[in-house]
Amino acid sequence: MTPDQAMQLAVAHHRQGDLDVAGRIYADILQADPRRPDALNFMGMLQFQLGDPERAHALLRSASMVAPREAGVWNNLGNVLVELGRVNEADKAFRRSLALVEGPEALVNVARLQRRRQEWTRAESSCRRALALAPRYGEAWHYLSLALMGQKRIEEAFQAAVQAELLLPAQHERRESYGRALSEAGEHERAAAFYRDWLAREPDNPYPRHHLAASLGEAPERCSDAYVEQTFDKFAASFDSHLATLQYRAPELVAEALRMSLPAPAAQYDIADLGCGTGLCGPLIRPWARSLVGCDLSARML
């Protein structure tokens, strides 16, 4: 079997979900030719699927160096960088992809980051450019709905959410935006029916349970622990960049207060950082810390 034939076989297994088989073939190909860009690219994406973004990043970074004019490699690298929380680098990777080929996937990925920065009109523009290239691209309709929602253009957001719901498989984030669009459009009965159906499919999911109660005007006194944890897990990757847009200065103010009220730092205190998820406070208070323990609302915020 030639290397090209082996690559075709590996990709076929990969697309069928046979990740172990595909991974072994990719590894054999890379052992023979460590700089083969398509093998680096697909092996990187496989590692990403297996939940190892650091390994995926190393492979895709190598692929981008070997084949710097492959738009798909830069787009894949951007997705991995988003997962790693390296949002500025991800933005550069997506734009590098677009400079080579203006593809709908990279445009929507740029829109995702623009949405995180609350650049609603730019996110809308990116989504509309993607839809001009691929009118039935459900992800573009989904993020267009979110961009329009951010501009309070509720009816347009609702119509875009309907298109996304028709074109995309049911996934949590997409269902979430569709339910929100129904509620924002004043379609409370339809929203309640939607959340009931979702809850029937996923009875342990706190999100539809919480929003069904809200749609019925029966909001609980406090959010459930499961709902809070799920919400902050989802928010974790973009939390720091969002705080930057708010000119968040709490860590600096805490450190300044410590300097004014405590003796000179000498690693002399046992410190608990409550709500440590940003990671911004720890380095500033570490000089005073003999031990430093952090906790937060969800595992991914740590």
Q: According to the model, what pLDDT value does residue 277 have?
A: 67
Between 274 and 287, the more confident residue is: 287
Mean pLDDT (the chain) is 89
Interval 144-167 mean pLDDT: 91
- The segment with the largest mean pLDDT, out of 137-141, 257-261, 267-271, is 137-141
Does position 218 have pLDDT exceeding 90, yes or no?
no
The pLDDT of residue 7:
96
Concatenating the DSSP letter of every residue in 190-220 gives HHHHHHHHHHHH-TT-HHHHHHHHHHTT---
* 113: Cβ contacts below 8 Å, ≥ 6 apart: 82, 87, 90, 91, 94
Of the two residues 294 and 127, the one the predictor is more confident about is 127
Q: What is the pLDDT of residue 85?
A: 87
Q: Please, which residues have CB within 8 angstroms of residue 231's CB and are 6 or more apart in sequence?
A: 223, 298
The domain ranges of the chain are: 1-101, 239-301
pLDDT beyond 70 at 171: no
Residue showing tokens 């445009």: 107
Which of 22-31, 146-155, 157-166, 221-230 tops mean pLDDT?
22-31
Q: Is the pLDDT of residue 278 over 70?
A: no
- Name the fold adopted by 1-101: 1.25.40
Of 12-16, 66-70, 248-252, 283-287, the one with minimum mean pLDDT is 248-252
Query: Residue 175 pLDDT > 90, yes or no?
Result: no
Residue 56 Cα to chain centre, angstroms: 16
**Range of weakest confidence among 45-49, 186-190, 222-226, 276-280:** 276-280
pLDDT above 70 for 245: no
Q: Is the pLDDT of residue 164 over 70?
A: yes
Please, which pLDDT band fits residue 241 given cuts at 50, 70 and 90? low
Which among 186, 242, 234, 180 is positioned nearest to 211, based on CA atoms? 180
Q: For the whole prediction, is pTM greater than 0.85?
A: no
Assess whether pLDDT exceeds 70 at residue 149.
yes
Give the DSSP per-residue string, 53-86: HHHHHHHHHHHHHH-TT-HHHHHHHHHHHHHTT-
DSSP letter assigned to residue 274: E
- Position 40 scores a pLDDT of 98
Question: How far apart are the C-alpha atoms of 184 and 210, rounded to whole Å?
Answer: 16
Q: How far apart are CA 242 and CA 75, in angstroms?
A: 22
